[in-house]
Amino acid sequence: MREFDKDYFEGETSPINYESFSYRVTAWLRFRTLISILSDLNRKTGILVDVGCAFGDFIYKFSEKGYKAVGCDVSKWAIRKAKRLYPNIDIILADVNALPFKEKTFDIVTMLETLEHCQKLNKVLEEISRIATANGLVIFSIPTTDLNDTQADKTHIWHLSLTEWLKIFERKFRLVKIKYFLKNLKYINKKASNTFVVLQT
């Protein structure tokens, strides 16, 4: 398993520098998109987990919005930084292949720009399905070859079109909504931010 340490998040070779101004702007816009999706689906409260939460920014923001939010990540370095940034958030170290949560715990599961890094894709989806409640929402944010040069990030294991992703998701979930995020960027620099796929158990 790759070590997602400081170099990955903030180093000179980082695929997306988490400390950069551009990242923080797009993160703010992504969170607004998430809140809009949840509002449209009448999910303005609930127990939520962000799998692959990095520095815990969204956990903090979700908590401010009234969700009972928990975060987990495989990176020890990111977890330490998250706890420094947000001492009061609920965040733990966890392997996505064996999540330390009971079955049917979360009304909402988010996994943002993380799934493409996971080698055991079917196992990860089984775990996400296991921890979601009946009729729970699962929101993935993924790069697709339709809109992105997915090869640009060498840490990505999966390079799939949206159609290919959806075929994988339909084994475990029912499709609710697709939301393209900043799709018009494709016409500016030949790539776009990720696609939100909203699913239900």
Q: pLDDT per residue over 88-138, tens digit each?
A: 999 999 999 999 999 999 999 999 999 999 999 999 999 999 999 999 999
Chain Cα centroid distance, residue 46: 17
Question: Which position has the higher pLDDT, 130 or 23?
Answer: 130
- Tokens (6 digits) for 62: 């979700």
Does the structure show a pLDDT above 60 at 34?
yes
| Size of the chain in residues | 201
DSSP letter at 54? T
Alpha carbon separation from 110 to 8, 69, 130, 140 (Å, rounded): 21, 10, 14, 6
> Which amino acid is it at 59?
I
Check pLDDT > 80 for residue 189.
Answer: no
Give residue-wise pLDDT tens across range 124-169. 999 999 999 999 999 999 999 888 788 878 888 999 999 999 999 9
For the whole model, what pTM was predicted?
0.91
Q: Per the CATH hierarchy, to which homologous superfamily does domain 6-200 belong?
A: Vaccinia Virus protein VP39 (3.40.50.150)
Give CA–CA dist 103/18, Å, rounded. 32
Closest CA to 18 of 73, 92, 93, 95: 73
Cβ contacts of 173 within 8 Å, gap of 6 or more: 129, 138, 199, 200, 201
> Could you state, in order of their start, the residue ranges of all structural domains in the chain?
6-200
**Mind listing the pLDDT tens digit for each residue in 44-71?**
999 999 999 999 999 999 999 999 999 9
